[in-house]
Amino acid sequence: MNSLRTVAVIGGGISGLSTAFALQERAAAAGIPIHCTVIDAAPEWGGKIVTHRVGDLVTEAGPDSFLSQKSAGIELCAKLGLTDQLINTNETSKRASVYSRGRLHELPEGLVVITPNQLGPFLRSGLLSWTGLARMGMDLAVPVKRSREDESLASFFRRRVGRQAFDRMLEPLMAGIYAGNAEQMSVQATFPRFVELEQQYGSVIRGMMASRKEAPPTSHSGPKRTMFISLKNGLSDLVAALVRRLTEQGVTLKGHCTVDALRVRSHQLGRWRYDVILHDGSALSVDSLVLATPAYVSAELVRPLTPIAGGLLELIPYASTATIAMAYPRAAVSGVAEGFGFIVPRAEGRDLIAATWTSLKWPHRAPPDQLLVRCYVGGVGREAILQLDDKALVARVREELASICGVTAEPGYVEVNRWMKAMPQYTLGHLDRLNQIEAALSRYGGLVLTGAGYRGVGIPDCIRDGALAAERVVRYLSGERA
């Protein structure tokens, strides 16, 4: 008969919670009795997922939505009974803009999909000049880079579609997601699909057109989803549902409890035991461990076991950002705020990375007489603004809104959320470093890393990676080496 095995998951953000959820599911399927403990330093669960409900306003301090195309998010919501809470973006005003050379240029929806049949809207937007567009089209003829060496996001796209299309259009969309600098980001680690398209079709544009044709017809069984989706009352509902389900399943949730260190307690016949040392000096002894903490925290935890993995984990940089939510009387901004918001290319040298007209994008987030906006600042090379105190930061953001889109009204509600060392940066060589980290950790059976720092920063990526981490733990516990 299988004896009870113990697992600790350190970190109760979406990665750690979804790892614990998948662990329960997979261990039960494999017939392995486990007891799982999730430990988080913060008093609240969910890590970067933080919804605030203030009167009739629903603000998201961190993520406000997730990609529907990556199925892990929708599937987890379904398992937790949240499907009827999923909401699409507002169908009636689905436009976004790019700020370039002194004005906003409207973009077609789903811009990331650059295909020639969308050139009309680009032309009308005036975002790209004729020469910029012609250079973009040269992607069809530019030779394929045969070297397997990693390449920066900036170098890859400037080589394929030219400087103008990249700097004015793709950089704010792509680098903005990571609050990163495209000159330093690895294309292989952030947008590997484009590298595959280049290799397979000889051109990104040709590849996208071909993969559209080859894509299986979309299933009509489920409801239609927009590119980004969210939960009606905020993403914290996903965290609350996970916490509820884990509690029902007998998982121990230890909040407000920092893990200070890890130790190997014993190692016999391929079977390991670890001590998780908690801040109060007590130790939790377990058979398997999942570290779902930011890479720089995991670095310190594994360093005494493997200085190599510790050193490599520390090399994953994190950017700091802030989100500023402001609610305006609707009448004061009518005619100014339209569509979903705008993004600002780094080349413009402004403080704002992006602004979302939150309650136009998600109508449930503010009462009809108010407009909720969310501004995003900071990121690699633009972090100086975070040294301002809240009052000065808000004043600076309001100056930006006034000069970019003419919003000069006084907001009735303001909220500043600072995210220090929050956005992992997948810089050049990231995937090689991950392989080396995995190799260095591989001798420690049942010790697994997951989280936004490694294989995707988006919520669905974290959920999928958490499920893979759970899979590895269950395989290890069932006797196979992870």
Ligand X SMILES: Cc1cc2nc3c(=O)[nH]c(=O)nc-3n(C[C@H](O)[C@H](O)[C@H](O)COP(=O)(O)OP(=O)(O)OC[C@H]3O[C@@H](n4cnc5c(N)ncnc54)[C@H](O)[C@@H]3O)c2cc1C
User: Total residues contacting ligand X (rule CB under 6 A)?
Assistant: 36
| Contact letters for ligand X, residues 260-299 (x by CB under 6 A) | --------------------------------xxx--x--
Cα–Cα distance, 241 to 467 (Å, whole number): 17
- 169: nearest Cα among 201, 138, 145, 136: 136
Cβ of residue 64: shortest distance to ligand X, in angstroms?
A: 5
Cα–Cα distance, 381 to 287 (Å, whole number): 42
Task: Decide whether 227 or 409 has the Cβ nearer to ligand X.
Answer: 227
Task: Decide whether 53 or 279 has the Cβ nearer to ligand X.
Answer: 279
Encode 269-315 in three state secondary structure: CCEEEEEEEECCCCEEEECEEEECCCHHHHHHHHCCCCHHHHHHHHC
| Contact letters for ligand X, residues 229-258 (x by CB under 6 A) | -----------------------------x
Is residue 393 within 8 Å of 152, Cβ to Cβ?
Answer: no
Cβ of residue 321: shortest distance to ligand X, in angstroms?
A: 5
Q: How many CB atoms lie within 10 A of CB 122?
A: 21
Residue 378: C-alpha distances to residues 48, 52, 140 (Å): 16, 21, 35
Cβ of residue 18: shortest distance to ligand X, in angstroms?
A: 8
- Return the residue of 259, 276, 404, 467 that touches ligand X, per CB under 6 A: 259
Q: How many CB atoms lie within 10 A of CB 81?
A: 11
| 190 part of the interface to ligand X, by CB under 6 A | no
Query: What phi and psi values does residue 419 have, to the nearest 5 degrees?
Result: -125, 90
- Return the residue of 50, 422, 463, 470 that touches ligand X, per CB under 6 A: 422
| Contact letters for ligand X, residues 111-150 (x by CB under 6 A) | ----------------------------------------
Helices 171-178 & 153-161 angle (0-180, nearest 10): 170
Encode 97-121 in three state secondary structure: EEEECCEEEEECCCCCCCCHHHHHH
Cβ of residue 254: shortest distance to ligand X, in angstroms?
A: 9
Helix (H) or strand (E) holding 156: helix 153-161
Is residue 122 within 8 Å of 133, Cβ to Cβ?
Answer: yes
Q: Show contacts with ligand X in window 305-324 (CB under 6 A).
A: 321, 323
Q: Show contacts with ligand X in window 319-358 (CB under 6 A).
A: 321, 323
Cβ of residue 446: shortest distance to ligand X, in angstroms?
A: 18
Task: Decide whether 48 or 160 has the Cβ nearer to ligand X.
Answer: 48
Q: Show contacts with ligand X in window 6-25 (CB under 6 A).
A: 10-16
State CA 375 to chain mean position distance: 17
Cβ of residue 7: shortest distance to ligand X, in angstroms?
A: 15
Cβ of residue 179: shortest distance to ligand X, in angstroms?
A: 8
- 229: nearest Cα among 361, 134, 331, 100: 361
Residue 96: C-alpha distances to residues 131, 337, 348 (Å): 23, 11, 17
Task: Provide CB contacts within 8 A for 299, sequence distance 6+.
Answer: 309, 310, 311, 313, 314
| Contact letters for ligand X, residues 32-71 (x by CB under 6 A) | -------xxxx----xxx------------xxxxx-----
Task: Decide whether 449 or 474 has the Cβ nearer to ligand X.
Answer: 449
| 457 part of the interface to ligand X, by CB under 6 A | yes
Cβ of residue 448: shortest distance to ligand X, in angstroms?
A: 13
- Return the residue of 57, 343, 452, 482 that touches ligand X, per CB under 6 A: 452
Task: Decide whether 161 or 469 has the Cβ nearer to ligand X.
Answer: 469
Task: Decide whether 67 or 104 has the Cβ nearer to ligand X.
Answer: 67
Judged by CB under 6 A, which stretch of 88-96, 326-334, 389-397, 450-458 contacts ligand X?
450-458
Q: At which residue do the structure tokens 């007590």 appear? A: 282
First to last CA, the chain: 22
Task: Decide whether 206 or 254 has the Cβ nearer to ligand X.
Answer: 254
Angle at 352 between CA 462 and CA 340, to 5 degrees: 70
Cβ of residue 433: shortest distance to ligand X, in angstroms?
A: 17
| 462 part of the interface to ligand X, by CB under 6 A | yes
Cβ of residue 424: shortest distance to ligand X, in angstroms?
A: 7
Cβ of residue 15: shortest distance to ligand X, in angstroms?
A: 3
Cα–Cα distance, 78 to 1 (Å, whole number): 33
Q: How many CB atoms lie within 10 A of CB 150?
A: 18
Residue 419: C-alpha distances to residues 293, 296, 303, 318, 424 (Å): 15, 15, 25, 10, 12
Task: Decide whether 73 or 445 has the Cβ nearer to ligand X.
Answer: 73
Task: Decide whether 122 or 191 has the Cβ nearer to ligand X.
Answer: 191
Task: Decide whether 127 or 259 has the Cβ nearer to ligand X.
Answer: 259
Cβ of residue 452: shortest distance to ligand X, in angstroms?
A: 3
Which residues form the interface with ligand X (CB under 6 A)? Answer: 10-16, 39-42, 47-49, 62-66, 258-259, 292-294, 297, 321, 323, 419, 422-423, 451-452, 457-459, 462
